[in-house]
Structure 1
Amino acid sequence: MKKQKITQGSILEINIENQYYTYAQILDKGGYVFFDYKSETRLTDFSVLEDKPILFIIGVYNDVITQGHWPIVGKMNIRQNLNSQPMQFIQDALHPDRFEFYNPNTGESTPATKEKVKGLERAAVWEANHVEDRIRDYYNGVPCIWLEDDLELFKD
């Protein structure tokens, strides 16, 4: 794996169990957008991603990129609607009934209720294999083990 630099707009190729490829893009402030697109062949025209739905937006450990685990295969402009990342939530580990909104654009957090944060992504930084599990599980139509706590937390 070759060393790579984290550069906004770069397109990352994610090989899922040598069966298919999916793609993500590096956003500003440590965010990564993962597109709802998979292909058995490598993508060469990245413009196909411009109108694809978004699976999720999360943080990923830097070494996933810098160590070349997911190769940078191209670059494209970041969609206008992704210039500002969506709010996330934080759950207090010592007081699990306390929640905060987390703004990944500013790093600020503000108090919130469980009801208000429902549907938001938990503020976290993900390992490559956990992201790959999440993508695989999505396409297999099964719940992701790494989201089990959140599914349990918000089930009603």
Structure 2
Amino acid sequence: MNKQRDKIGALFSLELSAGQIAFGRKVNKEESVFFDFVTDTLSPESIAKAYESRVAFRIPVMKYAVTSGRWKIVDCSRPVGPELAQPGKYFMQDKLTGAFSIYQQGEISPCDRIDVEGLECAAVWEPEHVEDRLRDYFARKPNLWFEQLKPV
């Protein structure tokens, strides 16, 4: 396997629809961030702009999205800063009891409903669902996959 494809800090491009290109970055062993930036041209300027863009969302993604070449590595030259490298928190909800927990890098802690407000569900996303979510994000419409994972 190409070590660059699994490298923390790798910036990758995702082709969306209508020639749109979005960007993500592997920020630690488990997670990638996706940027609030879309372009129609992959260039040194668009790569620089991706790095400077705010994070739209942060989630774990199936490793094969990058290792298979579906998403293309476009740069590995910048280290991940401490604010991005810090593992995110995710919520878990027991389907039978409704009880909530918070997951962070292998640690699970019970919590109350209020503690999970604003957290993503602990799930590993398929690349096509991430692409759908990004298309919806840029179109400013709700995403089916994200909505299905909200706490109840």
- Give the TM-score normalised by structure 2: 0.89
1:1-40 equivalences under 5 Å are: 5-40=5-40
- Aligned residue for 1:141? 140
Shift in Å, 1:110: 0.2
Q: CA deviation at 1:100?
A: 0.4
How many residue pairs are counted as aligned between the two chains? 149
Q: In the alignment, is residue 91 of structure 1 matched against residue 90 of structure 2?
A: no
CA contact (8 A) 2:60 2:123 kept: yes
Q: 1:117 — aligned with what?
A: 116
CA distance in 2 between counterparts of 1:43 and 1:91 reads: 42
Deviation per CA, 1:64-93: give whole Å up to 9, x if none. Answer: 111111011111221331121221111112
Indicate if the aligned counterparts of 2:90 and 2:119 stay in contact, CA closer than 8 A. Answer: yes
Mind listing any 5+ residue stretches in structure 2 that lack a counterpart?
A: none
Q: Structure 1 pair 100/42, CA: closer, same or farther in 2 (3 Å)?
A: same
Q: Following the alignment from structure 1 to structure 2, what is the Cα–Cα distance between the partners of residues 93 and 43?
A: 46
Counterpart Cα distance in 1 of 2:140 and 2:61: 23
Deviation at 1:10, TM superposition (A): 0.6
SS in 1 for 2:60: strand
Kept in 2: contact 1:21–1:38 (CA 8 A): yes
Matched residues in 2 for 1:71 and 1:50: separation? 16
Q: Percent identity?
A: 31
